[in-house]
Amino acid sequence: MARQPLIASQFDIRPDEQGWQAAHLHGAAQTAMLFDGVPGFAYIVKDAAGRYVSFNQSVMQRVKARRPEEIRGRTAAEIWPGPMAARYDQQDQWLIKRQLPIFDQLDPTLYADGETGWCVTHKYPLYVTTGELAGILCLSRDLPEISRNGLINEQLASAVDRMVIHFEDKLQIADLAEQAGLASSQFSARIRKIYGISPADLILRSRIRAACALLRRDDASLSQIALQCGFYDHSLLSRQFQRMIGTNPSSYRKWLQTQPQSTLVPWEPHWPR
């Protein structure tokens, strides 16, 4: 007898019945299978209304669901504890309003063993070729050791929010450290422990990622994109972009125009070197 996929029922999306949006969500859902056997990762695909379409086994374990039907079609508010659900919904609304991905946010979560801890979350909007929002793809990675050691709290998460979703603001490390309730050296050490890079590099990475998304999305001028991403002029954007991506923004935009349209944009901006 043929072996049945362990989680096939979580991906029961029929594009022929539900149109192009479902087809795009179906494609995103298949990727969840890659994460199903990987501990410490939660993978979720939501439709444009915030309803859970597909998810990996880890999500079911976290919320003690015995069957996929207990989650599918429900919203975060119906699945997660109130404060967690409110934060997740707030992220989704920011993403929809700004039409930008979210990377590296610190979120409270439930672990599979029932404990509460923290995770690093990435979210990406999924669009059909007409530009209509089809859904949201979410990936989170648990931080159990760091959580157990008490290195993350709401103050630190709030400071990280400023770094990764308010990147257009003028950000000073000393101010961020004060917001986190830490000395600057302690703050830098915490960020390095969580992300493996300095606070300044985390801010820069957030800005460059946003610039990549804007270059993909529309025809705004480089000066406009620079200001939206926290650079005071397009020349600074170009220098930092060249350093991180390996090419300048104009060349990156031209290269994007040669690529096939895809709902699943790579997590990391890349350039064929």
Q: Which DSSP string do the residues of the chain spell out, in sequence order? A: -PPPPTTGGGG---HHHHHHHHHHHHHHHHHHHHHTTSTTEEEEEEETTS-EEEE-HHHHHHTT-SSGGGTTT--GGGTS-HHHHHHHHHHHHHHHHHT--EEEEEEEEE-TTS-EEEEEEEEEEEE-TTS-EEEEEEEEEE-HHHHHTT---HHHHHHHHHHHH-TTS---HHHHHHHHTS-HHHHHHHHHHHHSS-HHHHHHHHHHHHHHHHHHH----HHHHHHHTT-SSHHHHHHHHHHHHSS-HHHHHHHHHTSPP-SS--SS-----
Q: What does the pLDDT read at residue 258? A: 81
Q: Does domain 1-152 have CATH number 3.40.50.2000?
A: no
Q: How far is CA 144 from CA 115, 188, 245, 252, in A?
A: 9, 20, 31, 37
Q: What does the pLDDT read at residue 28? A: 57
Q: Grade residue 119 by pLDDT with cuts at 50, 70 and 90.
A: very high
pLDDT at residue 3 tops 50: no
Range(s) within the chain of domains with CATH label 3.30.450.20: 1-152
pTM of the model: 0.84
What burial letters (b/e) apply to 237-266, b meaning 16+ CB within 10 Å? bbebbeebbebebeebbeeeeeeeeebebe
Range(s) within the chain of domains with CATH label 1.10.10.60: 153-273
Amino acid in position 120: V
Fold (topology level) of 153-273: Arc Repressor Mutant, subunit A (1.10.10)
Q: Mean pLDDT in the chain?
A: 85
Q: Grade residue 269 by pLDDT with cuts at 50, 70 and 90.
A: low
60-108: pLDDT as tens digits: 999 999 999 999 999 999 999 999 999 999 999 999 998 889 999 999 9
